[in-house]
C-alpha cells in the first residue's frame, strides 16, 4: 500500500513557491519534476481556520459552522467563542482512513487543540495555549515529543516590533517541528502523515514590507530584506532532509490553505458604519478604541462589523438580537442596500476598489452556527478590516492590532508528487484535496470537489 505524506505550508503563495523562489529551492524543484501542481483556490473566507479543515473534510465553512477564529455566541453583541477542534464534527481524511484500518500521524493541523482521538498519533496546532497542557494523542506521546525537541513551540507572537526576536523564534520553532516530524516518520507505523508549518505565515506577516518593493511601507535597505527568501531556503533544506527518510513510492503533497500578498492598508469599517449612521456610537478622533469599549445605542443601530483579514458585518434583527431594529420582512432590502454601500467604497485617493461581498446562503449549501450576515473582501483582500474606531482617517497605513505587513490572497498551492507521474500544471480548489487523498488509498466518498488523479 502506498503511503501519503503531506507538507502543509500555511499561506504559501504560488507566485513565490512555484516561480520567484523556485531556483533557490532545489528539493522542492526536484519534487515538482514528477508532480501535478498548481494554484489552489481557497475557501471563502480564505482564513487558516477554517481552511485547513475545509481541506481535510471536503466540507464548506458553512457546513462546519466555522467562519474564522472567533464567533458570536447566541447572537450576542459581545459574547464570543474561539474556534477549537471539538467544534469540527465532520469526518476528515484521517477519519475515513482510520475506518479502513490505516494509521495517521498529524502534527500542527489547525484546529487540532484539544487533541482528539485518531487511529494513530497527533500533536496539536498553533491554538494550543502552551506546552503545560495535554497536547497529544495519545497523552503519553507528549513525553516523547519533549524528549526529542525539549519545550515544543506551537506558535510565535509575530505582531510586535522586536523583529529579531520574532525571526529567531520562528527559526527555532520550524527546526524543532521538522526534527519532531522526522522522529515520528521513523518511529511510527503510519500510512498517512500530515503536518502544518505555521512559521511561513508568521514570516510573511512580520517581514513582507522589507521584502516587497511595491509595499507602501517598504524599507529597501533594511537588514530584514532577506528574511523571507532565507526562510524559504530553510524550509527547502528541512524538506530535503525529511524526504530522504521516505520510501521511494510514497506520494508527497505540498499544500497551503491560502495565499498571501502585500497589505495596502487597513479600512476602519466600524468607523465608516458610524459615519454613515448605521452604527450608533460616538468616538473621538485620536482616541482609538475597540467597539466593545464604546457606549453603543443598540436600539438605534442597523449594522456593526468585526475586523480581520476580511470583514464580517452583522445586521441588528428584531427577534434575533436583543435590541434588534430590522424587521425580518425588511432583512433582504437592508442587507442589499448596505452591500451596495460597501461595494461603492473607494480608496483613499478616490480609486475604485474591487470589493467583494458574500452572503453565506449564496456560497454554502447550508450555513450553520453563528454566521455573519455578510462577509467582505475589501479591494480583493488588499485592505484589511479594522474593527477599532477613533482614527484620524478611515484608511490606516498599518494594522490596528499590531505590526502586520501582509494580507491573505485567495490562491494557495497544491502539489502531488508520485514517482511515475509526468509533471503538469492543474487548476484546482481546496475542495479537491480530500477526494484526491482518499483516491490514493482507493477510497471514494461523496465529497465536494474531485480527485485530481
Please write the tens of the pLDDT for every residue from 124-141.
Answer: 999 999 999 999 999 999
**pLDDT tens digits, one per residue of 202-222:** 999 999 999 999 999 999 999
Confidence of residue 420 (pLDDT cuts 50, 70, 90): confident
Closest CA to 372 of 384, 382, 381, 363: 363
Q: Tell me how far apart the terminal alpha carbons of the chain are, to the nearest angstrom.
A: 17
Strands 311-315 and 424-425: unpaired
CATH among 3.40.720.10, 3.30.420.130, 3.40.50.720, 3.20.20.60 for 3-262+408-441: 3.40.720.10
DSSP states along 181-225? HHHHHHHS--SEEEEEETHHHHHHHHHHHHH-TTSTT--TT-TTT
What is the per-residue pLDDT for 124? 98
Query: What does the angle CA 433 – CA 436 – CA 440 come to, to the nearest 5 degrees?
Result: 140
Distance CA 373, CA 331 (A): 10
Strands 120-123 and 104-107: parallel
Give the torsion through C-alpha atoms of 74, 78, 83, 84, to 10 deg: -80
Question: Where are the CATH 3.40.720.10 domain residues in the chain?
Answer: 3-262+408-441
pLDDT of 1 > 60? The answer is no
Peptide bond into 274 cis (omega under 30): no
Q: Which residue is listed with cell 482617517?
A: 393
Q: Which residue is listed with cell 490572497?
A: 409
What is the per-residue pLDDT for 446? 86
pLDDT of 223 > 70? The answer is yes
Give the pLDDT mean for 274-289.
96
Rounded alpha-carbon distances, angstroms, from residue 80 to 70, 184, 232, 412: 6, 36, 36, 29
Confidence of residue 419 (pLDDT cuts 50, 70, 90): confident
Give the pLDDT mean for 137-163.
96
Give the pLDDT mean for 370-387.
97
Closest CA to 377 of 336, 343, 412: 343
Confidence of residue 53 (pLDDT cuts 50, 70, 90): very high
pLDDT of 2 > 90? The answer is no
Of residues 113 and 422, more confidently modeled? 113
**pLDDT tens digits, one per residue of 160-205:** 999 999 999 999 999 999 999 999 999 999 999 999 999 999 999 9
The phi and psi torsions of 219 (rounded to 5 degrees) equal: -115, 95
Distance CA 49, CA 45 (A): 9
Amino acid at each position: 500500500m502506498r503511503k501519503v505524506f503531506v507538507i502543509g505550508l500555511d499561506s504559501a503563495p504560488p507566485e513565490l513557491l512555484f516561480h520567484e523562489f523556485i531556483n533557490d529551492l532545489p528539493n522542492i524543484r526536484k519534487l515538482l519534476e514528477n508532480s501535478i501542481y498548481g494554484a489552489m483556490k481557497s475557501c471563502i473566507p480564505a482564513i487558516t481556520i477554517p481552511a485547513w479543515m475545509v481541506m481535510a473534510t471536503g466540507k464548506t465553512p458553512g457546513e462546519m459552522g466555522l467562519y474564522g477564529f472567533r464567533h458570536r455566541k447566541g447572537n450576542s453583541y459581545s459574547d464570543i467563542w474561539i474556534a477549537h477542534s471539538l467544534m469540527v464534527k465532520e469526518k476528515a481524511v484521517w477519519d475515513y482512513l482510520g475506518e479502513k484500518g490505516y494509521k495517521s500521524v498529524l502534527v500542527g493541523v489547525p484546529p487540532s487543540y484539544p487533541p482528539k482521538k485518531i487511529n494513530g498519533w497527533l500533536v496539536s496546532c498553533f491554538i494550543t495555549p502552551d506546552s503545560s497542557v495535554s497536547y497529544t494523542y495519545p497523552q503519553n506521546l507528549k513525553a516523547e515529543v519533549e524528549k526529542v525537541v525539549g519545550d515544543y513551540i506551537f506558535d510565535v507572537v509575530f505582531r510586535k516590533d522586536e523583529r529579531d526576536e520574532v525571526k529567531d523564534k520562528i527559526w527555532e520553532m520550524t527546526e524543532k517541528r521538522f526534527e519532531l516530524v522526522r522522529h515520528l516518520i521513523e518511529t511510527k507505523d503510519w500510512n498517512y502523515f500530515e503536518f502544518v508549518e505555521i512559521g511561513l505565515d508568521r514570516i510573511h506577516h512580520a517581514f513582507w514590507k522589507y521584502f516587497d518593493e511595491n509595499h507602501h511601507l517598504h524599507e529597501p535597505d533594511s537588514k530584514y530584506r532577506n528574511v523571507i527568501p532565507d526562510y524559504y531556503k530553510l524550509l527547502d533544506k528541512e524538506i530535503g532532509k525529511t524526504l530522504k527518510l521516505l520510501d521511494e513510492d510514497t506520494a508527497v503533497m505540498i499544500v497551503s490553505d491560502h495565499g498571501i500578498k502585500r497589505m495596502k492598508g487597513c479600512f476602519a469599517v466600524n468607523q465608516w458604519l458610524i459615519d454613515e449612521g448605521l452604527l450608533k456610537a460616538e468616538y473621538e478622533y485620536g482616541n482609538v478604541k475597540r467597539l466593545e469599549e464604546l457606549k453603543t445605542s443598540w436600539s438605534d443601530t442597523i449594522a456593526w462589523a468585526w475586523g480581520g483579514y476580511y470583514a464580517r458585518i452583522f445586521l441588528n434583527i428584531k427577534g434575533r438580537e436583543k435590541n434588534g431594529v430590522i424587521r425580518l420582512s425588511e432583512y433582504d432590502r437592508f442587507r442589499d442596500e448596505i452591500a451596495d454601500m460597501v461595494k461603492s467604497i473607494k480608496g483613499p485617493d478616490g480609486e475604485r476598489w474591487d470589493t467583494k461581498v458574500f452572503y453565506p446562503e449564496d456560497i454554502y449549501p447550508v450555513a450553520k452556527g453563528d454566521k455573519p450576515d455578510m462577509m467582505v473582501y475589501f479591494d480583493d483582500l488588499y485592505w484589511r478590516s479594522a474593527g477599532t474606531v477613533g482614527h484620524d482617517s478611515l484608511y490606516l497605513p498599518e494594522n490596528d492590532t499590531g505590526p502586520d505587513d501582509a494580507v491573505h490572497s485567495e490562491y494557495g498551492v497544491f502539489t502531488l508528487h508520485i514517482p511515475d507521474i509526468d509533471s503538469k500544471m492543474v487548476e484546482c480548489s481546496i475542495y479537491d484535496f480530500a477526494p484526491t487523498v482518499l483516491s490514493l488509498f482507493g477510497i471514494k466518498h461523496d465529497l465536494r470537489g474531485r480527485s485530481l488523479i
